[in-house]
Every structure is written in C-alpha cells, then in structure tokens.
Amino acid sequence: MSEDPYSQLVSLELDRPIWERFFCVSPLVVIGSQEEDGSVDLAPKHMATPLGWGNYFGFVCTPTHSTYRNIRREECFTVSYLRPDQVVLASLAAAPRCEDGSKSMLQAVPTIPSRFTDGVFVRDAYLLLECELDRVVDGFGPNSLVAGKVIAAYAHREALRGDDRDDQDVLDACPLFAYLHPNRFAEVATSQSFPLPAGFRR
C-alpha cells in the first residue's frame, strides 16, 4: 500500500488564526499617512501586495488603527519598501504611541517628502509609491483591505531590472527584505529562474 499522503500533515484547528503556526514569506513595507493635526504617521505592514497587474496596491489594516482612519479621511497614502538593513527603522515605526497619542519614535526615522500627496517616505527605501485611496473593503473579521491607485512611483537605480542587467545582479546590488511572520525576517540576495512552460502567458 502507498503511504497515506496526509501522514505527515497536521490538521490545524480553526478556532483561532492559523497564520502563526508556520512561516510565510511577505514583503515588509511602511505605510505613511497624515494625522488629523497634520503630523505624519508611519506604520509597518506585511500583509501588502500589488492588486492585479495594473498599478494598484493594497494592504490589510484595521479600523482601530490611526493608519486606517487617516487614509479614510485624507484619501491617500505612501508606501516605502524597505531594505534589509532598515529593519530597525521598521521596528521604530511599530513602536506604541505615547499617552498623548503621539509616536515619538518616528522622530528617529529619516524621511523625505512625497511629491503629489501630503506624506513622507522612509529615506533610502528602494521602492516608493504614492497612492490615492481607491476603496476600503471591510469585514475580514476585524480587518479591512485598503486599496489604492498608484499615482506616482520611484525606484532606486540599483533596484531596477533591465535588458542590460542580469536579474541576479539586481539582487546582488539591492537585496530584498522578506518578513517571515511571526516576528522574523530574512535577506533575499540570491534567486533562480523559474521553470515556466513553453508558451506560458499570464
């Protein structure tokens, strides 16, 4: 008899979230938004992704967070894709608020102003996006999907792919920050070509 294909699998109980029982690879970005008093808020997010093949970007947030409320009110946000050596900046952006509601740790995060929205980027991040709010989809339990349309994008020269550059050379010059939920990270500096079948189309 062949081995039971489920013999090495563990059934996960669904009475609590499954996502902390194993590691998943995600990007780590910092979302920038503007507070009601005009100050800046920065918050790291790992449930973040392009939405389709067009210029749309989305991330998961919750209505209890200032990031969600700020974006609902101002209808725009920024996205900074961090480098692995910027992990401490991500940690600072995740620091809890003070009793007065401010995030004093953000003063230690170097930023540059965005060009078309009222916001900032984390300085030296390799990819920067300015987004207008497209929609918010509530109801994923206590969470929501915040979707934006990219209205401006900037990439560091060393992070750009091109016909005259080998893809591995790009990663050598600009390794990627991979967040391994929960609470670990890795640097992606090597890669291999994916074996796509002949005639493959997206």
CATH assignment of the domain containing 113: 2.30.110.10
Q: How high is the pLDDT of residue 202?
A: 75
Angle at 148 between CA 146 and CA 152, to 5 degrees: 145
Note whether residue 153 is domain-resident. Answer: yes
Q: Which two tokens stand for residue 5?
A: 């294909």
Determine the average pLDDT of the residues in 132-156. 98
What range defines the domain where residue 80 resides? 24-188
Q: Render pLDDT for 23-32 as a digit per residue (tens, 0 to 9).
A: 999 999 999 9
Q: How high is the pLDDT of residue 198?
A: 86
Q: How high is the pLDDT of residue 3?
A: 84
Mean residue pLDDT of the chain comes to 93
Note whether residue 114 is domain-resident. Answer: yes
Q: Render pLDDT for 60-108 as a digit per residue (tens, 0 to 9).
A: 999 999 999 999 999 999 999 999 999 999 989 887 766 666 677 788 8
**Number of structural domains in the chain:** 1
Q: How high is the pLDDT of residue 145?
A: 98
Note whether residue 85 is domain-resident. Answer: yes
Note whether residue 19 is domain-resident. Answer: no
Residue 1 has pLDDT above 70, yes or no: no
Residue 15 has pLDDT above 90, yes or no: yes
Q: Please tell me the pTM assigned to this model.
A: 0.93
Note whether residue 34 is domain-resident. Answer: yes
Sign of CA dihedral 88, 130, 32, 69: negative
Q: Render pLDDT for 43-63 as a digit per residue (tens, 0 to 9).
A: 999 999 999 999 999 999 999
Rg (CA), the chain: 19
Note whether residue 155 is domain-resident. Answer: yes
Q: How high is the pLDDT of residue 100?
A: 66
Residue 185 has pLDDT above 70, yes or no: yes
**Per-residue pLDDT band at 9 (split at 50, 70, 90):** very high
Please provide the DSSP assignment of 41-86 as one string: EEEEESSEEE-SSSSEEEEEE-TTSHHHHHHHHH-EEEEEE--GGG
Note whether residue 101 is domain-resident. Answer: yes
Note whether residue 195 is domain-resident. Answer: no
Q: Which residue has the higher pLDDT, 153 or 92?
A: 153
